């Protein structure tokens, strides 16, 4: 029996948001005013950060936060291989 613990693979996620120009699209009013919440090692932590940021700005209907799956951008061949299987 091994005492080694396996560390889960990092699946980086970026959480960011900003005020939109319209409720119908994803164009930001001011790119210099984007709120970069942070980069997280897994979706669960990113989701918690997204939810907290979204709740802080609930009174502004034009404010939106997003979770970007950075690991999919960093390793596109891996995602393509899984889709082909």
Q: Give residue-wise pLDDT tens across range 25-82.
A: 999 999 999 999 999 999 999 999 999 999 999 999 999 999 999 998 888 776 545 5
Q: Please, are residues 14 and 71 in contact by the beta-carbon 8 Å criterion?
A: no
| Range 50-62 burial, b when 16+ CB lie within 10 A, else e | beebbeebeeeee
The pLDDT, as a whole number, for residue 12 is: 95
Task: Output the pLDDT for position 42.
Answer: 96
| 50 lies in some domain | yes
pLDDT at 83: 54
Domain contains 3:
no
57 φ, ψ (degrees, to nearest 5): -115, 20
Residue 24 domain-assigned (yes or no): yes
- Asked whether residue 78 is assigned to any structural domain, the reply reads yes
Inter-residue contact 35 to 18 (CB < 8 Å): yes
Residue 31 lies in domain: 13-84
Range 7-32 average pLDDT? 94
Is 43 among the domain residues? yes
Q: Look at the chain and report how many structural domains it folds into.
A: 1
Distance of alpha carbon 64 from alpha carbon 58, whole angstroms: 9
pLDDT confidence of 19, banded at 50, 70, 90? very high
Is 6 contained in some domain? no
The yes-or-no verdict on residue 85 having pLDDT over 90 is no
CATH of the domain at 50: 3.30.70.2400
Q: Determine, yes or no, domain membership for 1.
A: no
Report pTM. 0.78
In a domain, 37, yes or no: yes
């Amino acid at each position: 029996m091994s005492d080694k613990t396996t560390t889960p693979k990092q699946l980086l996620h970026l959480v960011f948001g900003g005020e939109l120009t319209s409720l119908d699209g994803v164009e930001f009013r001011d790119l210099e005013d984007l709120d970069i919440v942070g980069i997280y090692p897994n979706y669960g932590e990113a989701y918690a950060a997204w939810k907290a940021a979204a709740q802080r700005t609930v009174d502004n209907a034009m404010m939106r936060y997003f979770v970007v799956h950075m690991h999919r951008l960093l390793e596109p061949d891996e995602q393509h291989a899984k889709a082909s299987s």
